[in-house]
Structure 1
Amino acid sequence: MCIWKQWKLPRTKKRHLISLGIPEYFANMAANSRKGYWRTVNTTTVKRALSKERLIRSGFYDLAIAYQSVHVNY
């Protein structure tokens, strides 16, 4: 959600979605959506563009793995 909110303008959102491999029609629909940030990020288009694996490869932390490494269940 933070990345989606950081892109701010619809044309920026569309440009980034297209660069991430989303077809222009679907990128346009997601970028110009009137839904809120959380609801828009939960759409198939944005989930496909900003997948968990892609975010980890670009340097973001996986909070579930970080939590499990600190809290070991006995």
Structure 2
Amino acid sequence: MEQRIDKLNSYLVGWLGYYQLIDTPSNLTILESWLSRRLRMIRWKEWKLPRTKVRNLISLGISPQKAYEWGNSRKAYWRIAKSPILHRTLGKAYWANLGLKIISARYEILRST
């Protein structure tokens, strides 16, 4: 995941440097939401086994009952990535701690200078 985030950061910095003059924050919001969902899906897929999913959800602060319920879900990866459980546990703060640069914050910094 670290390699993905490093590569993604290099693309994001390049895109924002190129598009900083364009006044389209709504498009960046759409891109950021899609990107977050995609990263949540990848993380969910990495966990593979239901017991691993349950264990990781509990370690991220979800109650054991909810973790068991969602960890044993048979819904598709993309659908689970939009679930409130993963929104809460794998939010912007989680990805920022892993080193992902948040697009909207970076865009505001570039636009203000």
Q: Does 1:13 align with 2:53?
A: yes
Worse-superposed segment, 16-25 or 41-50? 41-50
Unaligned stretches of 5+ residues in structure 1: none
Greater per-residue helix proportion: 2
Structure-2-length-normalised TM-score: 0.54
Structure number with the bigger relative contact order (C-alpha 8 A, sep ≥ 6) is 2
Which of structures 1 and 2 has the bigger CA Rg? 2
Tell me, in whole angstroms, the C-alpha distance in 1 between the residues paired with 2:105 and 2:53.
29
- Give unpaired runs (5+ residues) of structure 2: 1-40
Count, aligned residues: 70
1:57 to partner: Cα distance:
1.4
What does the per-residue CA deviation read over 1:45-69, in whole Å, with 9 as the maximum and x for residues that have no partner? 1111111121111223335566x49
Asked if 1:35 is matched to 2:92, the reply is: no
Give the structure-1-normalised TM-score.
0.79
Matches of 1:61 and 1:33, distance apart in 2: 30
Q: Segments of 4+ in structure 1 off by > 6 A?
A: none
| Coordinate RMSD, CA, aligned | 1.9
